[in-house]
Amino acid sequence: MPILAISTNKGGVLKTSLTTNLAGVLCQQNKRVLIIDTDNQGNALLSFGINPDQMEKTLYDVLIDGLDPNEAIVNVHENIDILPSNDDMSFFELDCLSNLEKYPEPFMLLKNAMEGFDKEYDYILIDSPPTLGLVQGNILCYTERVLTPFQPEAYSMRSLTKILKAIQGFKEKLNPSLSVAGIVATLVDSRTTLHSQVLQECRKFCLHNDIPMFETVIPRSVRFASSVAYERKPATLVEKKNPLILAYFDLLEEVEGIGTKK
């Protein structure tokens, strides 16, 4: 049962879109999916038209108070459940690190809380915040593989090298089964010279460092946001034959193909 985190330390690069749209593809394959939203913005739940601020029980309660995750998990679509977050997660790091007597293994809280859930789902997808703090540390201690979105803009390579360094550090010290599922280019405008140049630079970097980079790219399009705004669903559950949407179906094939090889 794959546990896949969509992680990077840069915001606005489609982490939530990747998470929820991949879940949409998987559920159409009759796979049961759990999304763990670790970002205090709670956008995973918003992608299904549900206000995260109305949730009385969230991931924060699971990690800080030891709540059974089943009490916080919300079903949002056939075969898709979400363990939601909201603004309470803003206090997670402070509440945890200021009370290390209660939380002697602060990086292991998520892994310990989710023990046994790999038997309940076919896939667990983790939506991450754009930071390299304690939340990201918990993700990297729990997940098996990391899918990293890469927006081909100036300074993007700097962010990419930082998340890859963090992944390697956690692999060596805390999670030997951790690996990079691959790098996926997002918000790509193939008409611009900059995007083409930065993508080429990224592919050379990945080839040199033996890191998978997917052929599939996720284009820049308002369609993904419009689907959430008007249909209150990820685009893969609304327009399955749209060429833009098909990119997510192609991406999943690549992700699973590399996972099979490994």
Inside any domain, residue 196: no
Helix, strand or coil, per DSSP, at residue 150: strand
What's the pLDDT score for residue 99?
96
Look up residue 108 and give its DSSP letter. Answer: G
pLDDT, tens digit (0-9, with 9 covering 90-100), for 204-247: 999 999 999 999 999 876 555 566 655 678 888 887 677 778 89
Which range marks the domain in which residue 140 is found? Answer: 3-149+221-261
Is residue 68 domain-resident? yes
What pLDDT, on the 0 to 100 scale, is given for residue 257? 85
The tally of domains found in the chain comes to: 1
Tokens of 15: 């982490």
pLDDT of residue 96: 96
For the whole prediction, is pTM greater than 0.85?
Answer: yes
Q: Measuring CA to CA, how many Å separate 42 from each of 86, 145, 253?
A: 5, 22, 27
Ranges of residues in the chain with a pLDDT under 50 are: none
224 neighbors 21 (Cβ within 8 angstroms):
yes
What's the confidence (pLDDT) of residue 157? 87
Q: Examine residue 194 and state whether it is found in any structural domain, yes or no.
A: no
Quote the pLDDT of residue 185.
92
Query: Considering the domain boundaries, does residue 254 fall inside one?
Result: yes
The domain that contains 121 carries what CATH number? Answer: 3.40.50.300
Let me know if residue 195 belongs to a domain: no
- The pLDDT score that the predictor gives to residue 227 is 65
Alpha-carbon gap, residue 14 to 151, rounded angstroms: 9
Question: Given this model, what pLDDT does residue 255 score?
Answer: 93
The angle subtended at Cα 131 by Cα 16 and Cα 259, nearest 5°, is 55
SS3 for 212? coil
One-letter amino acid for residue 223 of the chain: R
Is residue 134 situated within a structural domain?
yes
